Chain A
Amino acid sequence: MSVILQSIAVARKDLLIEWRSPSRVSGILFFALALLLMVAFTTDASAATLRKQAGGALWLGMLLASTRSLDLSYAIETEEDALEGLVLWPVDPRAMFFGKAFANTTILFLVASALTPLAIAIFDAPIYGSVTHYVAFLALGSAALAAPGTLYALLTARARSASVLLPVLLFPLVVPALIAASRGTSLAMEGDLMNQAPSWIKLLLLFNAVHWSLDALLYGRIVEDG
């Protein structure tokens, strides 16, 4: 069985669990929404300034909510020790990584998509630029959080202080992707007069290429030593 088919099976399993018990998506959606509201209503910014902050606020909410989401993606594996069952099953470790990272990307993308109309309403920031660019930034930004997040959440899954360790490890690593996603999202909302969006997309593509390939290799070593 190929790595691709196994990856699809692992992703399907994670997404089916989410579908059957959608607590993860709803939980992180409300967490991120609370952050958006805090940013919007606790700063004394003008309407124009708020509009500029919309992209950054959206990704700040996504970053903080993502750690909870990634934590939960391994809670389902450690609850009945299914993770060891998966390691001992004839599944390629790279397929475990790709499957879980894809499922995490999908969940983060869905949350970001659901937050979009709320962010537009709260920050009064309609999408004046390219909707295609906007969707690309949501997808690439979600993938950039999910790939290293899936690796580090595995590292911290069995630690007693997992919810503290994960942000400490993950946040410094994803700063470049976060800046690119925030700037790109803001450009898509405000209108990209200087055509800067493609540069930020390239940066996100490069970040994703490095992490989706390197982290898949590291994942196998970590999961075997667990």
Chain B
Amino acid sequence: MNSHPPGLVVDDLARRFGRRWAVARVSIEVPPATVLMLTGANGSGKTTFLRCLATALRPHHGSVYLNGQNTWTERAETRAAIGFLSHQSRLYTDLSATDNLRMWAAMGGRTDNIEALLERVALPATRRDPVRTFSAGMKRRLSLARTLLGRPKLLLLDEPFSAFDPEGQDLVRSVVTEARQNGATVIITTHVPHLAAQVCDIAAHLNAGRIQWTGSVAERLEWQPS
């Protein structure tokens, strides 16, 4: 019988590189339709934590459950439910925006409306140009569209506001709001809490791979890491 609550359950998760523990025994629960803001200094383990959740890295200790399923042991199934916006664009730069999304959709068996998705991230005029000619912000918009293919149940956004202009930052916030309304669990890592505060429900702070602080978003805006 499934004993884990719906949403994301991180149970005593740890991951090391060599002898250094990048993530050290982190436990946290994020219910469905909830947005977690994860802050932390450079090297605090935010990206490693997200990569463990996305099943890009095998945890060295502990487990992650998404809607009751162990994400690592059942990764073939859970990967279909995870959308991960990473630092790299993960795009094919010789292809156009439309071709990129079509190819990713075809490979994953997604049936999303590609044109609508491009409109959603405001890339209609450039859809035929190769991605190689895109600015960093445009690539980021397209990566975001790729992440949204298949309406993931767990949305992992690693520094989603970086490389975006104010309109792009609004776009990220509206995408997060929409995902939450659709019942998705969302985790946003950021160095700048006030950018994400508007759309987040709870907050946590990582320090040297450990959760140093958890609380509400309003409390996080008041709290200063020591």
Q: Are A13 and B107 neighbours in the complex by a CB distance under 8 Å?
A: yes
Residues in A neighbouring B88, C-beta threshold 8 A? 80-81, 84-85
Q: How far is the CA of A16 from the CA of B56 in the complex (A)?
A: 27
**Among residues 63 to 104 in chain B, which have CB atoms less than 8 Å away from a CB atom of chain A?**
76, 79-80, 82, 84, 86, 88-95, 99, 103-104
Taking the closest CB of chain B, its distance from the CB of A22, in whole angstroms, is 10
The number of chain B residues touching the other chain, given as a range, is: 20 to 34
Binds B, one of A2-10, A120-128, A161-169: A2-10
Q: Are A6 and B109 neighbours in the complex by a CB distance under 8 Å?
A: yes
Q: How far is the CA of A6 from the CA of B146 in the complex (A)?
A: 17
Q: How far is the CA of A90 from the CA of B108 in the complex (A)?
A: 5
Q: Are B107 and A82 neighbours in the complex by a CB distance under 8 Å?
A: no
Asked if A132 is at the interface of the complex by the 8 Å CB criterion, the answer is: no
Residues in B neighbouring A12, C-beta threshold 8 A? 103, 106
Residues in B neighbouring A87, C-beta threshold 8 A? 56
Asked if B55 is at the interface of the complex by the 8 Å CB criterion, the answer is: yes
Q: How far is the CA of A211 from the CA of B55 in the complex (A)?
A: 29
Q: How far is the CA of A88 from the CA of B150 in the complex (A)?
A: 13
Asked if B193 is at the interface of the complex by the 8 Å CB criterion, the answer is: no
Q: How far is the CA of A181 from the CA of B108 in the complex (A)?
A: 36
Asked if B6 is at the interface of the complex by the 8 Å CB criterion, the answer is: no
Asked if A76 is at the interface of the complex by the 8 Å CB criterion, the answer is: yes
Asked if B54 is at the interface of the complex by the 8 Å CB criterion, the answer is: yes
Binary interface profile of A, 57-88, with partner B (CB < 8 Å = 1, else 0)? 00000000000000000001001111011111
Q: Are A89 and B79 neighbours in the complex by a CB distance under 8 Å?
A: yes
Q: How far is the CA of A81 from the CA of B108 in the complex (A)?
A: 17
Residues in A neighbouring B55, C-beta threshold 8 A? 88
Closest to A5 in B: B109
Asked if B183 is at the interface of the complex by the 8 Å CB criterion, the answer is: no
Q: Are B107 and A89 neighbours in the complex by a CB distance under 8 Å?
A: yes
Q: Are A76 and B106 neighbours in the complex by a CB distance under 8 Å?
A: no
Q: Return the contact of A88 from the options B84, B89, B94, B95 (Cβ within 8 A).
A: B84
Asked, given contacts A6-B107, A84-B56, whether A90 binds B94 with beta carbons under 8 Å apart, the answer is no
Closest to B107 in A: A9
Asked if A17 is at the interface of the complex by the 8 Å CB criterion, the answer is: yes
Residues in B neighbouring A9, C-beta threshold 8 A? 103, 106-107
Q: Are B92 and A76 neighbours in the complex by a CB distance under 8 Å?
A: yes
Asked if A91 is at the interface of the complex by the 8 Å CB criterion, the answer is: yes
Most B Cβ at <10 Å: residue of A1, A13, A79, A90 = A90
Residues in B neighbouring A92, C-beta threshold 8 A? 76
Which B residues fall within an 8 A CB radius of A? 54-56, 76, 79-80, 82, 84, 86, 88-95, 99, 103-104, 106-109, 130, 146
12 of the cross-chain contacts (CB-CB < 8 Å) are A6-B107, A9-B103, A13-B92, A76-B92, A80-B88, A80-B93, A82-B90, A82-B92, A85-B88, A85-B146, A86-B107, A91-B108
A9-B106, A85-B90 are known; give 10 further A-B pairs, CB within 8 A: A6-B109, A12-B106, A13-B106, A13-B107, A17-B95, A20-B94, A80-B91, A81-B89, A85-B86, A85-B146
